[in-house]
Structure 1
Amino acid sequence: MNRNDVFDVLNKPYSQELLARDVTRLAYVGKDGTPRAIPIAFAWNGSTIVMSTAKNSQKLAALRANPAVALTIDTEVHPPKILLIRGVAELDYVDGIPDEYLQMTSSYEMTAEQRVEWEAEVRSLYHDGMVRIVVTPTWAKLIDFETTLPSAVEELMLKREERQHA
C-alpha cells in the first residue's frame, strides 16, 4: 500500500472519528517471540500515532528488537467501525511528560479537580520522563460495515452471489 492510499483511508470521515478516540490496541511481538496486544492511550497528529509509556516498560525492549506493530481502533456499537493500521514504531525518549500524553486523555470523563489531581500524579510518577512510541502508518483499512467489510466476508458474499446466480 503506498503512502497516498494509506492517507486516503485515514482521511475518511469514519477514520477521522476513530483517530479522535483515546484508546487503541497495540499489537507487537514480545521479547520471547509471543504476540502481545495491549490497550494504550494515543494521539493522532495528522501523520503519526503517538503513544507514551514509562522508560522501564518491557514493551520498549520488544519494540527495539522488532518495531513492526499493528493497531486497532474501534467502537463498541453495532455495527462497529474498525480502523486497522500497520506501521513501524520509533522510540523517542523525552524529559518530562510528552504533550501528547496529556492530550490523549482529554476526553476521559473527569472533573476539573480530578484532572488537576491526575496531572499532578502523572508528573510525580514520570518525573524522569517517558518514551514516545511514534508509529507512521504504512497500511490502513477501515471497516464500517456500510461501504467496507472484512475481506473474508466480502469473499463469502461474492461466493453466495455466484451460487444464487448459478
Structure 2
Amino acid sequence: MPKLKQHELEEYLAEPGRYARFATVDDDGYPRVIPISFLFHNGTIQFTLRPNSAPWSNVRRDPRISIALDEMEDPMRRVIIQGIARVVHEPGSEDQWEDLHRQMLLKTRPADEVEEYLRAMAEAGVERPWLAVDLDAPTRVKSWRSFHAGEARDRLVPYAQQYLKS
C-alpha cells in the first residue's frame, strides 16, 4: 500500500468530519485511548483535553502519545502518529485559543451548536489545556492508502512488503 505523499497527508488531516483516536499511557502502564476532535494547523495536530481527566494527567506525567486516523471508504487512508504532546496554552487561557477551538469544532459540528457549546463552557468556567503535536522529527508519522484504480501495483496483496514472505 503506498505511503501518502506530503500534500495528501496534509489534505487528509485538514478534511472536515474527521475524528482521531488519541492514546496515552496510564500510570499503571496500560494504554488509554479516547476519541478526539483535532485541528491540523501550521504543521501540527492541535486539540484540547478535559480538565481533571486521565488523558490530561497522563500527558502531564508522560507526554509521549500516539494518534490514529483512518477511513473505511476508498482510498482507505491510514495515519499513525507517535510523538510528544506539548502544552501550547495552560488551562485558564482559553481566550488565547478560542478561535482555534472554534475552527476545530466546526470541522465536525454545525456552527450554532459550536457557539452554544463554547458559550456554555465559558459560563461554566471550564478551564482546559490546548495542546499540539508537531509532525516534524522526532515525531514518527506513518501513512498509507489503498491503490487507486489503474495504479501500478508492485504486489498482488495490498500489504506492506514487510508483511509478505519473501
TM-score of the aligned structures, taking structure 2 as reference length = 0.74
Q: Does 1:93 align with 2:90?
A: yes
Structure with higher strand content: 1
Q: Which runs of 5+ in 1 are unaligned?
A: 1-7
Quote the residue 1:124 is aligned against. 123
Q: Does 1:26 align with 2:22?
A: yes
What letter is aligned with 1:39?
P
Matches of residues 1-166 of structure 1 in structure 2 within 5 Å? 11-13=6-8, 15-21=9-15, 22-91=18-87, 92-94=89-91, 95-96=93-94, 98=97, 99-110=99-110, 112-125=111-124, 127-137=125-135, 138-146=139-147, 153-157=160-164, 159=165
How far residue 79 of structure 1 moved from its aligned partner, in angstroms, is: 4.5
The number of residues matched between the two structures is 148
The CA distance in 2 between the partners of 1:77 and 1:144, in whole Å, is 10
The answer to whether the 8 Å contact 1:26/1:38 transfers is yes
How far residue 35 of structure 1 moved from its aligned partner, in angstroms, is: 0.4
Structure with higher helix content: 1
Report SS of the residue matched to 1:54.
coil
The answer to whether the 8 Å contact 1:29/1:66 transfers is yes
What letter is aligned with 1:122?
M
Q: Which runs of 5+ in 2 are unaligned?
A: none
The CA distance in 1 between the partners of 2:5 and 2:81, in whole Å, is 9
Q: How well do the aligned residues superpose, as a CA RMSD in angstroms?
A: 2.9
Quick one: structure 1 residues 140 and 113, their matched pair in 2 at CA, closer, same or farther if it must change by over 3 Å? closer
TM-score of the aligned structures, taking structure 1 as reference length = 0.74
The CA distance in 1 between the partners of 2:83 and 2:133, in whole Å, is 6
Identity %: 23
Report SS of the residue matched to 1:124.
helix
Quick one: structure 1 residues 113 and 9, their matched pair in 2 at CA, closer, same or farther if it must change by over 3 Å? closer
How far residue 80 of structure 1 moved from its aligned partner, in angstroms, is: 1.4
How far residue 11 of structure 1 moved from its aligned partner, in angstroms, is: 2.3
